């Protein structure tokens, strides 16, 4: 597949061109610092401007797509094909160097099966409703034990329709909305657990989302978060072709320090973020936060 065979929005993604009319200009989502005058990071792609905050060092995409664009033209179910093609083209010259690291990641995945989200939910949530923000087609919610009621928020219309088929028969609620809008519509203390698996890196307003999460959780309820680890060894080794880079879908790039900082700023207690949750050889970073009470 070449960029010429993709839809216009997807081809623009491959080329790294941002349409200003479809974007919003962001300040640092962690501390609120305006970094417009700062030069873009060398890790930026095309006109997508990656910035490191001069106040708190948080790394984020300054010109991010609006929610309506993420719901239609740049839904991940569409744009993932363009991202896949970009990576194939970018990696073609370094395939001999990339192959050993890919083999190591494959071995680690076999050694540590990808059921960590389900295990953490089962460990910390005994009963009630569990909400996944950015639930996709509902595959992860399907794995919840029967004593938990699955609920979901999803911005991609096609994925939301698929998730509804898994969630509603079990008495759960599915909201076709952006994360912040969906959370804001929920009642106080209505969820026993919240899952954000590969979601928070996509969210234009992560602090506000986490504040709403603290509000909708029951006292002592938990949020399980998984994001790419910007501080990982792989990111330093692979540079611009690190799998955690996804332009323009990923707008926040968390380190263990910045993730803990933003969760704490939202009023949530850090319950767990051990070295096993942030191995330097892993691209993934995990954290469990807890609502007060």
Residue 101 located in a structural domain: no
The verdict on 151 and 58 lying in the same domain is: no
The verdict on 143 and 182 lying in the same domain is: yes
The verdict on 275 and 177 lying in the same domain is: yes
The pLDDT value given to residue 241: 85
The verdict on 83 and 140 lying in the same domain is: no
List the single range of 76-80, 222-226, 277-281, 288-292 with lowest mean pLDDT: 76-80
Tell which wins on pLDDT, 1 or 191: 191
Residue among 268, 270, 243, 267 at smallest CA distance from 256: 270
Quote the number of domains for the chain.
2
The verdict on 212 and 279 lying in the same domain is: yes
pLDDT tens per residue, range 173-194: 999 999 999 999 999 999 999 9
For the cut 60, the answer to whether the pLDDT of residue 74 exceeds it is no
- For the segment 185-212, the average pLDDT, to the nearest whole number, is 98
Residue 107 located in a structural domain: no
The pLDDT value given to residue 283: 94
Burial of 150 (0-12, 13-18, 19+ CB in 10 A): buried
- Residue 41: pLDDT band (50, 70, 90) is very high
Residue 105 located in a structural domain: no
Residue 34 located in a structural domain: yes
The verdict on 78 and 126 lying in the same domain is: no
- Residue 280: pLDDT band (50, 70, 90) is confident
The pLDDT value given to residue 3: 42
User: Which residue range(s) make up the domain with 87?
Assistant: 3-92
The pLDDT value given to residue 64: 94
Residue among 5, 89, 79 at smallest CA distance from 48: 79
Distance CA 34, CA 268 (A): 25
Tell which wins on pLDDT, 282 or 105: 282
Distance CA 251, CA 63 (A): 9
Of 60, 92, 124, the position where a domain reaches its end is 92
Distance CA 212, CA 203 (A): 13
The H or E element that residue 80 is part of is: helix 76-91
Residue among 15, 18, 131 at smallest CA distance from 66: 18
Residue 99 located in a structural domain: no
The pLDDT value given to residue 2: 42
Burial of 147 (0-12, 13-18, 19+ CB in 10 A): exposed
Residue 66 located in a structural domain: yes
Residue 165 located in a structural domain: yes
pLDDT tens per residue, range 90-146: 555 455 555 665 566 566 555 555 579 999 999 999 999 999 999 999 999 999 999
The verdict on 69 and 154 lying in the same domain is: no
The pLDDT value given to residue 24: 93
Q: At what angle do helices 206-216 and 256-265 cross, to 10 degrees?
A: 50
The verdict on 195 and 277 lying in the same domain is: yes
3-state secondary structure 116-158: HHHHHHHHHCCCEEEEEECCCCCHHHHCCCCCEEEEEEECCHH
Q: For the chain, what is the mean pLDDT?
A: 87
Residue 121 located in a structural domain: yes
The verdict on 183 and 139 lying in the same domain is: yes
List the single range of 103-112, 176-185, 233-242, 270-279 with lowest mean pLDDT: 103-112
The verdict on 166 and 82 lying in the same domain is: no
The verdict on 122 and 59 lying in the same domain is: no
Q: Can you read off the two tokens belonging to residue 106?
A: 């494959």
Written as one string, the DSSP assignment of 171-183 is T--EEES-HHHHH
The verdict on 178 and 57 lying in the same domain is: no
> What is the CATH number for 126?
3.40.50.150
pLDDT tens per residue, range 3-37: 444 455 555 555 567 676 689 999 999 999 999 99
Cβ contacts of residue 13 below 8 Å, gap of 6+?
A: 74, 79, 82, 83, 86, 247, 248
């Amino acid at each position: 597949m070449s960029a010429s065979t993709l839809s216009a929005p997807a081809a623009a993604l491959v080329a790294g061109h941002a349409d200003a009319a479809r974007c919003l200009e962001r300040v640092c989502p962690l501390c609120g610092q305006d970094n417009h005058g700062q030069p873009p990071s060398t890790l930026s792609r095309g006109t997508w401007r990656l910035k490191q905050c001069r106040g708190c060092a948080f790394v984020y995409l300054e010109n991010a797509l609006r929610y309506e664009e993420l719901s239609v033209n740049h839904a991940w179910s569409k744009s993932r094909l363009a991202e896949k093609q970009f990576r194939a083209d970018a990696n073609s010259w370094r395939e001999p160097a990339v192959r050993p690291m890919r083999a190591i990641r494959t071995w680690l995945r076999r050694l540590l099966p990808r059921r960590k989200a389900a295990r953490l939910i089962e460990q910390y949530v005994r009963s009630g409703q569990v909400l996944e923000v950015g639930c996709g087609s509902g595959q992860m919610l399907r794995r919840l034990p029967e004593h938990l009621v699955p609920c979901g928020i999803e911005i991609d219309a096609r994925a939301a329709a698929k998730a509804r088929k898994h969630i509603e028969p079990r008495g759960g609620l599915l909201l076709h909305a952006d994360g912040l809008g969906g959370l804001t519509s929920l009642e106080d203390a209505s969820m026993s657990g919240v899952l954000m698996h590969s979601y928070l890196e996509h969210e234009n307003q992560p602090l506000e989302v986490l504040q709403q999460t603290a509000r909708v959780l029951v006292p002592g309820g938990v949020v399980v978060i998984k994001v790419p680890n910007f501080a990982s060894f792989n990111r330093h080794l692979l540079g611009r072709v690190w799998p955690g880079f996804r332009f323009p879908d990923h707008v926040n790039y968390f380190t263990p320090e910045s993730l803990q900082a933003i969760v704490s700023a939202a009023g949530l207690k850090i319950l767990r973020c051990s070295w096993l949750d942030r191995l330097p050889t892993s691209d993934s970073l995990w954290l469990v936060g807890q609502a007060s009470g």
